[in-house]
């Protein structure tokens, strides 16, 4: 195959799903360009640990260009603004058009923050390493100020919000100086499991935390959060962990109805265009699928496999979601969330950390000897971290503390 006859593949979004597709495509058969506005691949499932300083920003990201070039492809630091599926091309924010033979869309989702009055301006979102770092610094600053009151509002207490809350507690519990309000739209925290709400509240019992369940935020101002029942909560730092919505590019391109994710078939092809593929959070798979990185990674890899099979005129493979539970952390306690039940134990924190260390280091695996230095630092960090976890869980005997929750 000559260079000129290779198929042009554009991948929009270069994080979990996009990077996974790129890494599994051979540059021998495909001319691949990955487009993403940000410079680094980011391990989002652990950004809440920036709050407690159990992680540093650099331990959660890696240079995207390096990772993509290692796979033999091109990285373009840009934003796609238009998808023109009739002419098989996309437009970048610079105005330039790029043509494709096949298009892979892995743009994740967007925060609900833009839909609530004042929230984008005054609340701190949690969608990237930089955003989490900013939130961590604001909390640190508030804690250090000499003030009679230090009110903080956390909006959203599903998995992401609870993980953030757990890290705030982990970091500030010893000298707790915040008046923390947690707002959650559902009537109960983690309503799918019996007794989990009470357990989470028990873990934070002696701290000044008020839970507002069944409430939604109407407006955020510079120093307050206004709820749908008219209550006004004073706030010096407002953290936003509530809700994700589909990227508007999907409906604008005619790939999804308005405000919906783009439907795909079992091969991960768009239902409206067989040359458009979707993976990760942006895709609406035929059966219900959690929006999780552990699905985004294999979805991305399957698209690469199917592009290769299509090239060889072979039947395409179906995506088979991994039947594994979600892992959630709440400070020092880890949770394994199955469909039928859940388990909570400090030892499960080590499981979550292990998943992160193994997968992140695998993504960074060098192709050349000169690149090993970079991985060495990362592996050293992994070993130290796992050692600390082993001490505080297994050696101190906390492993025995396990709680069980039945699904409702």
Ligand X SMILES: Cc1cc2nc3c(=O)[nH]c(=O)nc-3n(C[C@H](O)[C@H](O)[C@H](O)COP(=O)(O)OP(=O)(O)OC[C@H]3O[C@@H](n4cnc5c(N)ncnc54)[C@H](O)[C@@H]3O)c2cc1C
Within 10 angstroms of residue 290's Cβ, the number of other Cβ atoms is 13
**H-helix or E-strand spanning residue 111:** strand 109-111
Question: Can residue 65 be called a binding residue for ligand X (CB under 6 A)?
Answer: no
Which residues, listed in sequence order, are joined to residue 336 by a DSSP beta bridge? 327, 343
Residue from 160, 167, 184, 353 in contact with ligand X (CB under 6 A): 160
Question: Can residue 113 be called a binding residue for ligand X (CB under 6 A)?
Answer: no
Question: Can residue 47 be called a binding residue for ligand X (CB under 6 A)?
Answer: yes
Shortest Cβ 13–ligand X spacing (Å): 3
Residue from 21, 23, 31, 45 in contact with ligand X (CB under 6 A): 45
Considering beta carbons, is residue 143 or 160 the nearer one to ligand X?
A: 160
Which among 65-73, 135-143, 211-219, 290-298 is the span making contact with ligand X, rule CB under 6 A?
A: 290-298
Q: What part of residues 367-386 is at the interface with ligand X (CB under 6 A)?
A: none
Which residues, listed in sequence order, are joined to residue 209 by a DSSP beta bridge? 180
Question: Can residue 118 be called a binding residue for ligand X (CB under 6 A)?
Answer: no
- What does the alpha-carbon distance between residue 133 and residue 95 come to, in Å, rounded to a whole number? 32
Q: How many residues sit close enough to ligand X to count as binding (CB under 6 A)?
A: 35
3-state SS class at 166: helix
Residue from 151, 156, 246, 280 in contact with ligand X (CB under 6 A): 280
3-state SS class at 239: strand
Question: Can residue 80 be called a binding residue for ligand X (CB under 6 A)?
Answer: yes
Q: Which tokens sit at 115?
A: 């839909």
Shortest Cβ 65–ligand X spacing (Å): 13
Question: Can residue 143 be called a binding residue for ligand X (CB under 6 A)?
Answer: no
By DSSP bridging, strand 61-63 and strand 40-42 are: antiparallel
Tell me, residue by residue from 5 to 34, as one string, x for binding to ligand X by CB under 6 A and - for no binding.
-------xxxxxxx----------------
Question: Can residue 152 be called a binding residue for ligand X (CB under 6 A)?
Answer: no
Question: Can residue 126 be called a binding residue for ligand X (CB under 6 A)?
Answer: yes
Considering beta carbons, is residue 127 or 151 the nearer one to ligand X?
A: 127
Question: Can residue 281 be called a binding residue for ligand X (CB under 6 A)?
Answer: yes
Within 10 angstroms of residue 56's Cβ, the number of other Cβ atoms is 12
Residue from 284, 293, 316, 348 in contact with ligand X (CB under 6 A): 293
Distances (CA, A) of 229 to 117, 238, 350: 16, 18, 41
Question: Can residue 154 be called a binding residue for ligand X (CB under 6 A)?
Answer: no
Question: Can residue 37 be called a binding residue for ligand X (CB under 6 A)?
Answer: yes
Of the candidates 279, 358, 294, 283, the residue with the CA atom closest to the CA atom of residue 21: 279
Residue pair 325/337 in contact by the 8 Å Cβ criterion? yes
Of the candidates 298, 237, 253, the residue with the CA atom closest to the CA atom of residue 84: 253
Residue pair 264/285 in contact by the 8 Å Cβ criterion? yes
Of the candidates 314, 319, 315, 248, the residue with the CA atom closest to the CA atom of residue 277: 319
Q: What part of residues 234-273 is at the interface with ligand X (CB under 6 A)?
A: 247, 249
Question: Can residue 79 be called a binding residue for ligand X (CB under 6 A)?
Answer: yes
Q: Using CB atoms within 10 A of its CB, is residue 240 exposed (0-12), middle (13-18) or buried (19+)?
A: buried
Binding site for ligand X (CB under 6 A): 12-18, 35-38, 44-45, 47-48, 79-80, 106-108, 126-127, 160, 163, 247, 249, 280-282, 291-294, 296, 327
């Amino acid at each position: 195959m000559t260079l000129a006859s290779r198929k042009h593949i554009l991948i929009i979004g270069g994080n979990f799903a996009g990077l996974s597709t790129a890494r599994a495509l051979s540059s021998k058969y495909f001319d691949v360009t990955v487009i993403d506005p940000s410079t680094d691949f980011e391990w989002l499932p652990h950004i809440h640990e920036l709050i407690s300083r159990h992680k540093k920003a650099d331990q959660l990201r890696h240079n995207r260009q390096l990772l993509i070039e290692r796979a033999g492809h091109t990285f373009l630091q840009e934003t796609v603004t238009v998808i023109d599926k009739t002419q098989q091309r996309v437009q970048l924010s610079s105005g330039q058009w790029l043509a494709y033979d096949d298009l892979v869309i892995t743009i994740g989702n967007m925060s609900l923050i833009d839909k609530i009055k004042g929230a984008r301006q005054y609340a701190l979102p949690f969608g990237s390493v930089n955003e989490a770092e900013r939130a961590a610094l604001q909390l640190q600053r508030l804690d250090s100020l000499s003030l009679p009151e230090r009110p903080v509002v956390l909006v959203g207490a599903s998995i992401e919000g609870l993980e953030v809350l757990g890290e705030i507690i982990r970091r500030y519990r010893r000298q707790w100086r915040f008046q923390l309000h947690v707002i959650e739209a559902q009537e109960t925290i983690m309503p799918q499991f019996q007794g989990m709400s009470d357990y989470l509240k028990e873990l934070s019992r002696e701290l000044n935390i008020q839970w507002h369940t069944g409430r939604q935020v109407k407006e955020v101002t510079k120093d307050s959060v206004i709820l749908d029942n008219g209550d006004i909560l004073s706030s010096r730092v407002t953290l936003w962990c509530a809700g994700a919505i589909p990227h508007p590019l999907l409906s604008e391109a005619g790939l999804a109805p308005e405000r919906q994710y783009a439907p795909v078939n079992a091969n991960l092809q768009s239902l409206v265009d067989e040359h458009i593929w979707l993976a990760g959070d942006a895709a609406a798979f035929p059966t219900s699928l959690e929006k999780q990185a552990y699905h985004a990674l294999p979805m991305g890899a399957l698209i690469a496999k199917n592009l290769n099979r299509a090239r060889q005129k072979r039947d395409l493979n179906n995506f088979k979601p991994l039947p594994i539970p979600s892992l959630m952390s709440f400070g020092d306690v880890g949770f394994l969330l199955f469909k039928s039940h859940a388990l909570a134990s400090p030892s499960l924190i080590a499981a979550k950390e292990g998943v992160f260390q193994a997968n992140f280091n695998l993504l960074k695996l060098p192709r050349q000897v000169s690149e090993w230095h970079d991985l060495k630092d990362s592996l050293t960090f992994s070993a130290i971290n796992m050692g600390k976890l082993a001490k505080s869980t297994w050696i101190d005997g906390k492993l025995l503390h396990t709680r069980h929750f039945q699904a409702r």
